[in-house]
Amino acid sequence: MNPTASQASIVSITNVTKDYTLGKVVVPALRGVDLEVHAGEFISIAGPSGSGKTTLLNLIGCVDTATGGVVRVAGQDTKQLTERQLTNLRLNTIGFIFQSFNLVQVLSVFQNVEFPLLLQRKLDKAQRRERVMQLLEQVGLASHAKHRPNELSGGQRQRVAVARALVTRPQLVLADEPTANLDSVTGQNIIDLMKELNQKEGTTFIFSTHDAKVMSHANAVVRLADGKFLDRISAAEASRVMAAGGH
Amino acid sequence: MLQLFLIAFRNLGTHRRRTLLLGGAIASVTALLVILMGLSTGMKESMLRSATTLSTGHVNVAGFYKVTAGQAAPVVTGYPAILEQIRKDVPELDFAVQRGRGWLKLVSETSSMQVGVGGIDIQSEPGLRQVLQLRAGTLDGLAEPDTVLLFEKQAKKLNVQVGESVTLAAQTLRGASNTVDARVVAIAADMGMLSDFGIFVPADTLRSLYQFKSDTAGALLLYLKDIQHVPAVQARLRQTLTAAGHTVMDHDPRAFFMKFETVNREAWTGQRLDITNWEDEISFITWTLTALNSLTGVLIFVLMVIIGVGIMNTLWIAIRERTREIGTLRAIGMQRTRVLLMFVFEAMLLGTLGTLAGASAGLVLCLAVNAMAVHVPEVVAVFIMSETLNLAVHPSSILGAMAFITACTTAISLIPSFLAARLKPVTAMHHIG
């Protein structure tokens, strides 16, 4: 699904700064970043290590708070929300895919995917089962529903993580280096899966990556350097820049 | 919520060695608590059974009669009228008996000893028949005048058998010495401290020894249908007997023989009634129970502190190991309270499983000890009032012990669980370790 100017912005970031204090030293991770992401976009955040990609995703994902500026997610100013409201926003609006999959080891594949639905308490058992199995079908793991994460390959675990991120039908999915721990073929499969879900369901995806191949699938690439917003370019332009040796 | 239990349960299973170690410690403490509680309750039951048979009713209407200010005797004069009034005032009464009370010298051909004596009418003492275990002779022999029932240790010391005679020597209220030769008609098994210095003779034999009238008793022992009514009956009798013109002494929770010094110091003469309960009459030996309970309390406290440190430590380790998991769960929308609950459930589950195993082991051990009728050394028997170890196991006390230890383990887990719940998602997610 391609964004249009008329679509509402799901993420709006205005002049955001984030500082980390390490002892007596204040380290700026983001310095006045502005960003607008519209519903249905498939956006990649690129930049070298330490450029602020993960920090930016953390702020959008409401798992961290900005030092300055305004972060609006789904129309809500995150600074104005209480801890409980932020948790609810994460539960109902945002899905997360982590570099290291971060599945609950003692739960089965089915239970891992079902978990956010149990937290939501909106669906009954039969509805939950239907939703989970439908997603596991989509990610090709229906036959592995009873397996534990340690019985799966890295690619399969990341597919479970994708299913878990999408099970609540969030408006926004954040993925921090989702292919970093996978081989190139599996990584490519995961990106294809995310793209497919983006196009089918209209879910907005924002993912960080170093990989030019992965980046090439994005509608747009937001480039960061030293905690600053560099530019927002197309995937084709980003590939050219990468080929030329830039980030 | 079910999922949180599942996570807790599976985490315990994943870290099997840690779970077994800590669960084993919890089980051991629970088993120890069940056994010590069984011992304490067993002692209390033995005390209640032997005391309310040998020396006291549930409630006693006794008293002192003084001819002169310094000469008190443990008697109730005109007891039939008082007993009649009691029967009217106490509908909770199951049955009542009158007993003579005294202190005398028991002399055989080879030895002598000082003992307390109970004057009984054996035909109206159903309790004695149930509790006394005869080694020789028959209780019905006490229906004949000038007979005596001894306990095993006394008979051994005096070197007498059933059918032989002993001399009972005592001072009458007026200071004259009197003796009665009594035939040993029964020898009963020892019943701890209370049987060490008590014998039984027919009430009329005691009256003739002390030269009391036939309407004189030492005490009226009242046995209630339900022991829970003791305080109410005691209070009511105090009122009704006072209203009937009797002088009732202030309540003094001690055995009657410990009151002589106080009563003799007082200036009054004549009859005064004293209303006591079974606990008052054996207060001089209930310290053993208090001591055992205190020891149990201290022991359990120390063990609980050790277990508490173990649980805290284990949860700290679990939280450190699962910090990223906590961060992930918080990120995907789990509220802080649920994170807290997840760890509390783990401790609660460990506590429940541990106490269940411990209580079962404790119960089996108690039942085995009871079945084997383990004989205790004489010195122990004096205190536990029984020749054999009796570990009383009641479902309510076992459940209570389980609930107590599970509640402690759960409460202890609150601190690390609370700190886990307070972790910021971003900090937890990027935790390395």
Residue B147 pLDDT exceeds 90: yes
DSSP string covering B348-416:
HHHHHHHHHHHHHHHHHHHHHHHHHTPBPPHHHHHHHTSSB------HHHHHHHHHHHHHHHHHHHHHH
Q: What is the model's pLDDT at position A6?
A: 40
B192 vs B335 pLDDT, higher one: B335
Bridge partner list, A1 = none
Q: What is the model's pLDDT at position A246?
A: 57
- Min Cα distance A236 → chain B (Å) is 32
Residues B95-137 pLDDT 10s: 999 999 999 999 999 999 999 999 999 988 877 887 788 899 9
- Min Cα distance B429 → chain A (Å) is 9
Q: Which residues of chain B does A116 touch, with a Cβ-Cβ cutoff of 8 Å?
A: 332-333
Output phi, psi for B105, to 5 deg: -105, 130
| CB proximity under 8 Å: A 29-68 to B | 58, 61, 63-64
Mean residue pLDDT across chain B? 87
Yes or no: is domain A9-243 CATH 3.60.9.10?
no
Among the partner residues B3, B14, B330, nearest to A115 by beta-carbon distance: B3
DSSP state of B333: T
pLDDT band at B419 (very low <50, low <70, confident <90, very high): confident
Report the complex ipTM.
0.87
In this predicted structure, which of A3-7, A153-157, B22-26, B35-39 has the lowest mean pLDDT? Answer: A3-7
pLDDT band at B282 (very low <50, low <70, confident <90, very high): confident
Q: Is the dihedral of CA A48, A49, A51, A54 positive or negative?
A: positive
- Min Cα distance A186 → chain B (Å) is 23
Q: Is the dihedral of CA A142, A147, A153, A158 positive or negative?
A: positive
DSSP state of A8: P
Inter-residue contact B233 to B59 (CB < 8 Å) = yes
Instruction: Tell if the CB–CB gap between B328 and A96 is shorter than 8 Å.
Output: yes
Q: What integer is the mean pLDDT of B383-398?
A: 81
Q: What is the mean pLDDT of each run of 10 residues along chain A (247 residues)?
A: 57 92 88 91 89 91 91 92 93 88 89 92 93 89 93 90 90 88 78 84 88 85 89 80 64
- Cα(A11)–Cα(A222) distance, integer angstroms: 13
DSSP state of A231: E
pLDDT band at B432 (very low <50, low <70, confident <90, very high): low
Q: What count of Cα atoms within 13 Å lies in the side-chain half-sphere of residue B101?
A: 26
Instruction: Tell if the CB–CB gap between A63 and B425 is shorter than 8 Å.
Output: yes
Q: What integer is the mean pLDDT of B262-277?
A: 92
Domain boundaries, chain B: 2-50+285-429, 57-281
Q: What is the model's pLDDT at position B195?
A: 77
Inter-residue contact A112 to A160 (CB < 8 Å) = yes
- Helix (H) or strand (E) run with residue B147 in it: strand B147-151
Instruction: Tell if the CB–CB gap between A87 and B336 is shorter than 8 Å.
Output: yes
Q: Judging by DSSP bridges, how do beta strands B216-217 and B198-202 pair with one another?
A: unpaired
Interface-testing mutation among A21, A60, A63, with chain B (most B C-beta atoms within 10 A): A63
Residue B66 pLDDT exceeds 70: yes
- Cα(B119)–Cα(B101) distance, integer angstroms: 6
